[in-house]
Structure 1
């Protein structure tokens, strides 16, 4: 079985084992449920194969980002799917179209979004031995004690989305659902809180990998804001030199309950398959497997989580979609540290024609909010962000840097679009020379940005430096700049092995645009910047 790419656009459907003897009908099995899911569900695939054998129900999972997926459901864009399965449906229920799109939903497992801090740092802060810690205490630790952490991007991942809602609700401390006036009142505290975020990501899994990597390389952050299950799993893996102390804030958290959701107007076959699947998933033995394999809390009283965890204290979720949308927009535009990204763009001769046109179109799409879903609006370039375009062919081209200053961001975005439209293809492919130039450009910046490099190439390197030259050049840089990840984009005839090596050396990851739309790949990468 192929592993999911965690693509925000959705990976190719992953068909779990087809039950023996299932009835085949035109277009597939009558006992197949086609499910649009968040990538975090992927860890259930082995279990779902066994469930399929017992129930005769095949589950086909197609992965997408949470907010992207929920927006599709609310907008009626669910043709070909019988069900959806995300960390939470709360955002979906704020939308009239979302509510009517649901036939029935069943929570399958539970995990709150909490904070994990390295044991020694938790001792220093007095957060061990049953100490009561609130989100306000965490904020003060960021401001006064220099606490640093990683958290996923709220526009791309449910754990970051839940964390943002939870922190804002806790700091507002009204005891009721968050309102816009509450966000305005606590905005300075939120800015202070998110000043401690040093690592971002588009998925909870990659965030954990980045946390481990930084610790191994001597560039640790103090903690992670993530699902309780992810933090418990990290501790159980034995890969951490120093286990995490889990901090369950006394004022509460936002919890994922992973509802398997049958969409409106289901067929009789879909209703029957859903019922059998849910019955098995909620059975005591399957619930125990879920708890043992994923470290999520079971919803059945017949199963027990191996770890000792406190009772859930749930923070109220906002009652109005506009409150949530404005809060996420504030996060990307005002609250968090801004991004600094160098886009290293292959404009060699092989890019001529349709490829260069697709590159221009994909990047221009990021230069302005298109009035679409919340996820798409947060994927556009944001105020305070710094964008450098570095085209390359036989040699690195002339870099152009754009700063999205508040008040003039729209005009700057149009300048970026104009520069992108002027890209022309010609020459050879000196990829590593261009990467070395990208890091040299980052060396001159300030340390208040989240930095990264995006490399898009459609062919093999055939000129200039090689991978080893590039690796050695990183050792000459300051630790802060050398830590910037490279997110490589496979396109056209890219060398997959070579681009994977670049991502591995820099702590980035590979995105595949050979079978997916390049614009969607660039949008997905935005969750990691």
Structure 2
């Protein structure tokens, strides 16, 4: 009735609904308990990741871009730092690191244990910017490494290209190989330096991934990329 008192709702046992029953509030766990549960998921329950990281050390990354890239590597491969924002690796994860300019300079690989991360950090630390750029060549080699991994089905794979986005080459050959791959591998972009996102955006869109700004909140970028795997 208009302007009258509300009508008391009737109990609905089939819905487990009784408006006359007192509802007791649930006490939230202590922050330390929540943190332990999140770490348990990250380190024991999450499906292992198989991640190929393409680090752009081309000439256009000199100075600011190169410094940002090294800071990103220190964050990513220092367990104490990565675990603060729940993007730490675990021993069951597998990581490829491919520094590149106009060609892939080398390919380093390790598990996600502390010793493996330390070695990958050392491998990145000695790299210096110089030369041309072809991020598609790096993406191709990254995809080849991922698809050649034994027991591929037990992992969730991803490629992450860390670059200023300026590149020579064409994505056509990579995308042709990507479509023929036995698994779908998202290709994420994380931008550094004076970045141009256009080519990264196209690659990410074609592979159902995203592009992030690495010069801003780097933790959120890696959390989002790792969240897909």
2:52 matched to which residue of 1?
A: 342
Contact 1:363 1:519 in 2 (8 A): no
- In structure 2, relative to structure 1, the CA distance for the partners of 1:517 and 1:319 (3 Å cut) is closer
TM normalised by structure 1 equals 0.37
1:429 matched to which residue of 2?
A: 133
Instruction: After TM superposition, list the pairs within 5 Å mapping 1:65-464 onto structure 2.
Output: 319-370=29-80, 376-404=84-112, 409-445=113-149, 446=151, 447-462=153-168, 464=169
Aligned positions, number: 209
- In structure 2, relative to structure 1, the CA distance for the partners of 1:473 and 1:493 (3 Å cut) is farther
- In structure 2, relative to structure 1, the CA distance for the partners of 1:343 and 1:371 (3 Å cut) is closer
- The CA deviation at 1:441 is 0.6
Contact 1:364 1:420 in 2 (8 A): no
- The CA deviation at 1:318 is 5.3
Contact 2:54 2:100 in 1 (8 A): yes
Relative contact order higher in (CA < 8 Å, ≥ 6 apart): 2
- The CA deviation at 1:425 is 1.1
Contact 1:392 1:431 in 2 (8 A): yes
Gap regions ≥5 residues in structure 1:
1-300, 302-309
TM normalised by structure 2 equals 0.80
- In structure 2, relative to structure 1, the CA distance for the partners of 1:499 and 1:387 (3 Å cut) is same
Secondary structure of the residue that 2:181 maps to in structure 1?
coil
- Alignment of 1:502 onto 2:208: no
Contact 2:142 2:159 in 1 (8 A): yes
Secondary structure of the residue that 1:382 maps to in structure 2?
coil
> C-alpha separation between the residues in 2 aligned to 1:314 and 1:378?
32
> C-alpha separation between the residues in 1 aligned to 2:228 and 2:24?
28
Contact 2:164 2:192 in 1 (8 A): yes
- In structure 2, relative to structure 1, the CA distance for the partners of 1:320 and 1:501 (3 Å cut) is same
Q: What stretches of structure 1 move > 6 A for 4+ residues in a row?
A: 311-315
- The CA deviation at 1:473 is 1.9
- The CA deviation at 1:519 is 5.6
- In structure 2, relative to structure 1, the CA distance for the partners of 1:322 and 1:392 (3 Å cut) is same
Query: CA-atom RMSD, angstroms?
Result: 2.7
Secondary structure of the residue that 1:370 maps to in structure 2?
helix
> C-alpha separation between the residues in 1 aligned to 2:27 and 2:108?
42
- The CA deviation at 1:331 is 0.7
- In structure 2, relative to structure 1, the CA distance for the partners of 1:390 and 1:403 (3 Å cut) is same
> C-alpha separation between the residues in 2 aligned to 1:459 and 1:496?
6
Contact 1:460 1:495 in 2 (8 A): yes
- In structure 2, relative to structure 1, the CA distance for the partners of 1:500 and 1:410 (3 Å cut) is same
Gap regions ≥5 residues in structure 2:
1-5, 7-14, 18-22
